[in-house]
Every structure is written in C-alpha cells, then in structure tokens.
Structure 1
C-alpha cells in the first residue's frame, strides 16, 4: 500500500522501494520475473506499480504494462534518482517512533500515554514493546506500575538518534528536511526547537570554514543530528553525564590539538561549557569520515606498517602490486586509523547501497577488502563491520580502476556525498570507461554549493543538485547501466565473453544427492578438482576460510572460491543439488566453484570479476532455474549462451 496526503506527504512501504530497485537492476524484466524475485504474486506487483504510478510520474518516469506482462519504461534515466527519493518516502515504522519517544524522555512513559500520542492502540504498543525489550535489553527498562524508559548511556542515545534519523535527512536544507520529517513521520519539532537548529547551522557553517579537513556529506549530516540532540539533552535535562574516557582516547592521537580547538569553538557556539563534552566532540571530529585532509602525512606514517602488510598479502594472493599507488596508501591509512579509533563506541552508519550490492558489483575489490579485514583483525583485535568492508572495497576498486586508466580530455566534476573512497572510485571508473574525459575534481555537495564558478564541462552528482551554468547528471556509486547510457557507450570486450564461454563448455558438472551442509558441497567440488590434480590439497581449506569471511551465496546460487596460489590449472566445477542446501543467507541449488590459477588471474583478472557480476544478476538466476535440470551438454550450452549476452 502507498500512503499519501494530497501527494505531499506520500509514504512508501519497503516492498515498493525494492520493486523500484529490481526494475533498475533489470529494466527488461517482466511482471512474472519481478514476482518471483520479490517472492510475491504477479497481482501484488501490478498493484504496487499502480500505487506508485503518481509518485513515479512526479519524477518523469512512466511504467506501462504491455501484453504478455512485459514492462515499457519511459524516463528510465531518472530511475536512480527515484530510488534515492523513495528511500526518504519510506514509512517511518511505529517501532522507530517509539524509540524516538524514549530518546526524548528520561522518565518512565506509560504505555497508554504512548498509544494516545502515536494514535494507535495500547495492545499494538504492548506487542512492539515486547519486541524492543528483546532487541535492546541493555537500553530499555520496563516496570509494571511505571511504564518504560531508556536507560542507555548518553553516547548510546546520541548514536541511536542519528541511526534512526539519518535515512530521512539529506543535508541539502536541514531546516526544511526536519519540517518534512515532522509532518510526515514524527512530531520532532516539539522537542528540537528552532533555537537548536539555528545554533546547529551556525556550528555547521563554522566547521565547513575549516580548510584543514573537509567532512563527507554523510558525516555532515551525522554531525548536525548529533549537535541538535546534544542541545536538547543539555537544555532539557538536569544533568548530562558524558564518560571521562574520551579524554584518554583522544590524548596523543593525530590532530588532537586541532580537533580540540574546533570542539571548544563549537561548544562556545552551542553555549555548552563542559570539558567532557568538548572531549567527546573532539573524538567525534576525529572519527567522522573526511572527504579530504590537507595533510595526511601523519596518518600515512602511523599506518605504514599496517598498509604495507596489506599490500604484501594482496600481492602474494593476487599478484597485484599497489605499492606505487600513493592515493590508495593515503586513503587506506586515514580510513583504517579512524576505523580502529572509532571501533564500536559509535554506531555504524550504512550507505544507501548495502554491502551485498557493493561486493557483488566489485568482487575483486571486495576480495582485497577481505584481506585487509584479516590484517586489521590480527593487528588490532577488531573485526571490521559490513559497512567498513564496503568502504574498504571502494578504496581498492578505485585503485583497480586507476590501473586501467586511459586518456583524459572532457572535464568532469564529481560531486559525491559518500566520501573520498566512493568519489575516487567514480572518478577512476569514469576516466577508464570514457577515454575522452578527465576529472576536474571530486568534491562534496556542501563544497559544491559554495562554488561560484566551475572549471568543468559536466557535473556527475550523487545528489539531485541544480546548477544553472553547467549540466548535471545524477548518478550512484554503483554507476549502473542506465546511468552510463546517459554519458557514454559501453561495449563489453568479446575476449572476456569468449573466455567465459570456453570455461563453461569445459566445466565439470556434477549432480549431487543427499548432502546436508554448505561445507559438504564445497568438499565435493574441491575434491573433484584435487582428484584431477588441478588444485593442491590446501585449496579446500582456503575455500572454507574464504566463505567464513563472507558467504558467496545469493538466492539460488553460491560461488565459492579459494586462494589462487593453490590452483595449478583453472577450472569451473558446477554442482547441481537435488535438494537445496541452506548456505548462509539463501537456500542454494547450484554451486559454481571457479578455481582460477594465479597465472590466469594475473593475465586477465576481469574474467573472474565478469563471471561473478553476471551470476549475481536476478535475471540470470531466473533463467538458470528454467534450464538447470537439462542434460549436461544442453545445460552448459544454455549457460554459456546466457552469460555471453
């Protein structure tokens, strides 16, 4: 269902947003395939398309259902922006509304009062509260005669507030966005008064005037949300306890004096005179992601041994040498330093695109991120989160794109609010694909708004910004096919397709009965390779270790692979399971183990990358279902033809 109030306060449910995303991934998909992908009926898909028709039309997109239940899409180039906007229109769940109420109240809240405030029944509140108490047992306290209250620490409350609010704030116009949130989702302006917003904007403008470091747009949003909530807490509560541990954390860290000076000025603007609060803000500035840092020498020096070990391990496993890439050295040094410093003291904040999207789009970069995670875990006893793996992947993929770089002529300005890793990746990828362009600069959205003139011919932006004197194309970090069609032509190299088809025709196809586990399936495939003397005995263990780092299953299929060092000769093994086996996330019926030798990996690492990218497409998996049980010869021929399209 879609909710609206005259079109101005429209709300979408998650299924409708997922429908938009599925259409972007495969514009030629039909109603039937969409239903299977989303696990809903064809009628539900048609109903959702009808319900979002007006919303799509408002953004110059029209979707018609043709005979045979196929789709005809007009304005498909606007779909990525529609997806971005749809995320902001998501219905704000009752669970999140309750969390906000808890964050704005120190005392106990009676369930009936909560139900009256949110215009729902008490029984519904009781049902959701039972779930919340299980989910956050250390943050909530329930007493029979008093009600419920938040007992989380002040730092946990701040992080939770940002976590709940951030998806609904873009940072283009904070005042307007908070008003929209107030009308659409929750009466937040009853708690965050205009004074807090005005002082927050003043503090923000001061922060943006500092040239020593430039925060990402994501970090700017997080900072603004933090300081408006800090003001609420400081003004509405008798005492605000901030842990003294932040002094010990920041003491002696890189840039301590500079960040502390900024924190003191911010506190002065907010009229908060608390040394512990200054130390907390100093810590916050240290850990928020930066778009650019004027002097990263200290970070590079501090992290030199760590990054050196990462580069050595990548070279040992993949024969790719990054030692000459100073930009990657700098980016990793700054990122790892702040990641290890941040650890779990602040909640993680997700990109618009999940780490599953990123690892499937950039499998080679993700493999390098997995190596980096091993080093970080070993050195610092800290396992990077999925979000951190996403950022690491972007750093490495940007370095890979730089390796493929070509000539530069047309000047393009990249405006990216995700940070230096994503901006660098977009820039490098554009330069590689378009041999007639050069990247004039990569900047944040906030920086763009401050520019008076542009030394560029085109702007590629991850936000829907306007510029009267220069054309702007909206893109995403994934640079989807529809986005690329607006700025270039793309021809996949025939040599990759031919090599891929050859690998499939030479593949070993094994039909398997009666297996119960992921590792059992992996063992069957790896043993087949070992018996043919194509891999060493260590390959099996390396595949399982790789799967333990990050599972390779997606819906119907899994694509496990191991260390190329243990592969004597490249070979693809395909298992067709009589009964699906639960892998990690999905029930898997087809296992594709592509053992790629180090020599072939060095000669053409795009082979593995292309194979992986194609296999994770929903339409590919849908087609595999259709011919998956054909005899071996027909199966391989159908698969080779499918992946060569």
Structure 2
C-alpha cells in the first residue's frame, strides 16, 4: 500500500475539486513548490490511484485529470507524515497534555511505538533548542520539564512560525484542554478589540494561545515584560477579570500587544515615538530613491507605522511572528529586503532592537508596495504579439490578451517580417508568438493561437518576473543618483574568491563552482550550497535581479559561518533555473551571517550597469573583473 504525504493528499483533493485538466504550473503555484516537486508527487499519486483501479490521465499541453472521481474516497486516502512533521506532532502533544504514553504519541502520528522510540533522540534535540527536557517516567509516560517561559515560547513558535503550523493548529482545535477555555479566550479578545478599536489579523490562533496560557495560570515565576505603557495597563485591567496573577497578566499583555492587527493601535503622535520615527525614516529613505506623494499613500504608511510599533513590542518581549512569506520575500524581492534591513539597522542600534528575518520581511512588503505603486507606469511590461494565422485568429488572440493582461502595453499582432522591422527601432520586454522566430535579446514565449490555459499561466509567470526585473533596474538606477561615491567590485570580493569557468556547465554546477572557494575556506558549508540550489528549484529565478547575473544565497541558519562573497564568470551563457529560466553569464554567491554587512546591493549597483556587463563578458582575467565600478 502506497502511503501519501500530507501535500500529496491535498493535491488529490485539489484535482478532485476541478472540472478540467490542471497543468503542473498551476499545481506548483497553488502549493508553492517547484515543477520538479509536482512531477515527483504526481508519480506517487499515479501509483496510489492505480492501486485503486483509477487512472491519472496526462495530456501534453493540457495537464492531469483524475478519471472516475466518484471512486476516490477521501477517508481512504492513506496519509503518512514526514519525520519533521512527526516531531512537531510529538512535541505539540507533550505541550497540550501533562503526560503522554508512547502509544498515545504513536497513535497521533499513525506509526508504531517503535517508531516513536527511534525518534526520541531527535525529539530531545529539538527540545534542547528551547532549553527543555523530556522526562520519561516508567509506567506513567513522558512529559516536558523546563522554565515556564521557554514552554510558552515553544508553543507560540510552533503555532505561528513553524513550517508545519497547520498541523499544530489542527491538534490544538481538537484538544479538550484548549476547547475548555476557548469561549473565555474569545470573550477577552473581543473586549480588548472593542477597547482599542482594532481587530486581530489571526484571531483564531491568538485565541488558541490565550486558551493554552489560561491552562497554565500561576506557573510564571518572574516578570517577563520590559515594557510599561498605558496600552499594557489597559489590557492588564481587562485580563484581571479572569486572571489574578500579575506575572501572567503582563506576559499575556506583551503577547497580545505584539500581534498583528487591522485598524488603529492608538499610536502616539509625538515625534519621539519610536515607531513613528522609524516609519518616517524608512519612507524618507525610499523617497530619495523614488519620490512619491505621502498623502496619496497615507493609508498604507499608517499601516506600516502600526506594524512597526507591534514589531517593537515583539522584539522587546522575545515574541516571534509567523511570516509564511519570509523565504519568498528574501528571494523574490531580495533587493527591497536588503534595503529594508540596511535602513532598520540604524534604529536597531539606537533603540537596542533586533528585528528578525520575519519582521524585516513584513516591513519590506510594505515598502515594496509603496515603491511599486509610485513607479507603476514605469513597471508596465511591453508585449509584442506575433501571429501568422490570419486576421480573424490574430484579432481573437489580441482580444484575449487585452482581457487577461490589460495592465500591459500590447503591440501587434504582427507577422514575423513586421515584427523584425518593428524591433529595429523599438524595444519590447516580451514577445508572444505562435511561430518560431529568432530574436537574440528578447524573451519569446510560443503559444497556441487560441491561448490555452497553460499558455496563460506561462505568460503570467513570465510577466511577473519581467515586471520584477524592471523594478530592480529602476531601484538601482535611482539609487545611483543618491550614491555619489565610486566603488569597484574589488572592494567587496577578494581576488581568491573570483573564478572563470570554461566550457558548458549546468546552473547547479555553476552554483557549486562559484561557492567552491568559500567552502574550501570554511566560510560556508556544503549544506549552504545545497540550500541555495533548492531555493532556485522552489522559488524560480528571482535571484537574477540584474540582467545576466544571478545572486544566490541561503539563510543565516543554513550553514554560513562568516560574511563572504564569491563570483564565477561563465565563458558561455547558460540558462539559469529549472523553470522560467533566464540567461546568465555570472553567478554571485553571498554568505550572509551578519545582517548588517550584506554586500548584495553594493555589488548589484555595479553589475546593473549595461556597459559593465559587456566588459564582464569580454573579461579575460580576474583583475579586469575586480576593476568594474559603479
């Protein structure tokens, strides 16, 4: 019997809900994984369905389809958990119940008692990261031991920031102890929301946390809050109707003040207010790169200020916020992430703050939205339609393109000859063609003249990346106006960390070769290299933030020991990525350990200059590469 992972089960349920074929691209987009992962999942799903006498039909250009849908029973779908998922389930069970037997833990995961015993070392290592211990009482069961603050922090992290938080949520909702206090939790939250005239963004999860904390009243031994404010006093007053212990009141108040809200947070309008000052600095810095009218964006700027204040509370109370888009932000809008990180650093020092990756990512999303709104017209992609199927078909194609992609500039439809003539005097960002045509400098997508669903998805993905590239280029061009000093690559990359590759090479091997000098010195580990490759497979080619150059990196917990940079120049241009490929001639590897010292923006400012890319192509030695300057 083939066992399915949770994602594979969800893919089957998704396919059963659809009335037509679904492409791999659509599945990958919905489940936020790569095409390669989807292909592997579909192989397992196909084998599983075959055991039930059901076919997974595949048609080129259309996608996949499950025949005999009525024969697939949801209750019969065999779901197995990965080891990481099992560890999360074990630990959540230990948090929710005072004592757990091995058989109870095994039952929760659908595994044998022996599997739980085999997983014990991993469970203990996981708990050790929170300074907690696993206590085994023979004939009774297992339980957690440690400081109450660490127990509470672990629960909040699992529910909000863990990769498997959905599993944690389901376990909590079905737990009797959590259910017992949910009504009281919702009541307290409603009173607080009415008092402050806002609404919590993640109300259900906050209610679960509050219910969990109500189960553990009186166990706090020391005060944890470093903030004394009128907001906290107001929340303490509301909590005192149900909670008598002042330590518990202050802990829960700091948690509630740290959560994301919609609406007003009664911000202090004084200039010295830290959140206002940080927000004003971020907006002022962004205006230097691209001017915009603050009045036109006052709503989103107000939301940014509210978020910054909540982030300050979280920083000072060691509360971690869940940001499901954290990795995607760092890869997909890495330029804005680096800009945000750099600008926040000034106030981290001034106010003794330390914004983590999730906080920086959220703030970067606000700034990206402001920047993109301000340069909206400049980000519009110019699309050329090339169609040789006659006037009627060309008209239908153009009409459909306008309906679906009306926010782009569309020229054509042209014949191949007309298109070539147009390109002699005009520039376009993307060519949509029904026939093969040879174009060196512009991306061409070949489509069915009637524009099928998989064509639409492919165009949409490409347009998003083209628009992103335009935003990056605009960001760098405007940033050059702000920065007047000249800097060369040699200031950021040492001679021993630059190499030139001859002959054909895959993009994966190019990353490995680019990273080799850093691995040899121990600056990064092989794990870091593998994570960079995995990131490209998962998130696509957003790392190509300047033309022809990919900037690859991983997270600070992925095996980086020192801030470092290396560069590989490719003698032959290669397609970069496993889908939505982009041509590159150079790979820049960034080892980011200390967030204050990332060189991504500095190097990208140099390599975004078209003349430098031409010089890079023709470079024969490392000295000429390092002499390139902004």
Q: TM-score range with shorter-chain normalisation?
A: 0.5 to 0.7
Check if 1:136 corresponds to 2:127: yes
Query: Quick one: distance in 2 between partners of 1:539 and 1:12?
Result: 44
Measure the CA separation in 2 of the matches of 1:578 and 1:96: 32
Q: Please tell me whether residue 45 in structure 1 is matched to residue 39 in structure 2.
A: no
Query: In the TM superposition, what is the alpha-carbon distance from 1:230 to its structure 2 partner?
Result: 1.9
Q: 1:123 aligns with which of 114, 119, 136?
A: 114
Q: Where does residue 498 of structure 1 map in the other structure?
A: 428
Higher-Rg structure is: 2
Q: Is the 8 A contact 1:27 1:73 kept in 2?
A: no
How far does residue 617 in structure 1 lie from its aligned partner after superposition?
Answer: 7.3
Equivalent runs, 1:390-401 vs 2, <5 Å: 390-401=361-372
Unpaired runs of at least 5, structure 2: 16-21, 67-76, 382-400, 412-422, 432-438, 443-483, 495-505, 517-527, 549-574, 586-612, 618-630
Residue 586 in 1 paired to residue 542 in 2? no
Q: CA deviation at 1:281?
A: 2.4
Q: Deviations over 1:217-254 (max 9, x none)?
A: x2x133201121123224xxxx52253232xx231x36
Alpha-carbon shift at residue 49 of structure 1 (Å):
6.0
Matched, 1:351 2:343: no
Pick the aligned partner of 1:338 from 305, 310, 314.
Answer: 310
CA change 1:595–1:144 in 2 (3 A) is same
Aligned counterparts of 2:27 and 2:189: Cα–Cα separation in 1 = 44
- Using the alignment, how far apart are the partners of 2:27 and 2:92 within structure 1? 41
- Quick one: distance in 1 between partners of 2:363 and 2:34? 34
Quote how far apart the aligned CAs of 1:66 are: 0.7
CA separation of 1:228 and 1:50: change in aligned 2, threshold 3 A: farther
Residue in structure 1 matched with residue 177 of structure 2 by the alignment: 191
Q: What is the alpha-carbon distance in structure 1 between the residues aligned to residue 7 and residue 270 of structure 2?
A: 43
Aligned pair 1:250/2:180, yes or no?
no
1:343-370 CA-to-partner distances (Å, cap 9, x unmatched) read: 2745424334x32323444455434323
For residues 403-426 of structure 1, give each alpha carbon's deviation from its aligned partner in whole angstroms, at most 9, with x where no partner exists: 2579xxxxxxxxxxxxxxxxxxxx
Give SS of 2:306's match.
Answer: helix
Cα distance change of structure 1 residues 315 and 366 upon mapping to structure 2, 3 Å threshold: same
- Report the Cα offset of residue 505 of structure 1: 5.2
Query: Greater CA deviation, 286-295 or 587-596?
Result: 587-596
1:181 equivalent in alignment to 2:170: yes
Whether contact under 8 Å (2:81, 2:109) holds in the other structure is no
* 2:90 corresponds to: 98
Secondary structure of the corresponding residue to residue 348 of structure 1:
coil
* Structure 1 position 160 matched with structure 2 position 90: no
**3-state SS, counterpart of residue 199 of structure 2:** strand
* CA distance in 1 between partners of 2:402 and 2:318 (Å): 39
Root-mean-square deviation (CA, aligned residues, Å) is: 5.7
Q: What displacement does 1:384 show? A: 2.2
Look up the match of 1:372: 343
Provide the rounded CA distance (Å) in 2 between the counterparts of 1:401 and 1:162: 34
- Specify the alignment match of 1:298 in structure 2: 269
**Separation of aligned partners in 2, 1:349 and 1:313:** 25
Please give the secondary structure, in 2, of the residue aligned with 1:372. Answer: helix
TM-score (structure 1 length as normaliser): 0.51
Query: How many equivalent pairs are there?
Result: 423
Deviation at 1:339, TM superposition (A): 1.6
2:546 aligned counterpart, secondary structure: strand
- In structure 1, the gaps of 5 or more residues are 5-9, 76-85, 172-176, 407-428, 434-483, 507-533, 545-555, 559-574, 597-614, 626-631, 637-645
Aligned partner (choices 63, 83, 101) of residue 72 of structure 1: 63
- The 8 Å contact of residues 376 and 383 in structure 1, kept in 2 or not, is answered as no
Question: Is 1:213 the equivalent of 2:198?
Answer: yes
For the 8 Å contact 2:220–2:248, the answer to whether it is kept is no
Q: Specify the alignment match of 1:619 in structure 2.
A: 579
Distance in 2 separating the partners of 1:334 and 1:489:
34
The question of whether the paired residues in 2 share the 8 Å contact of 1:315 and 1:321 is answered with yes
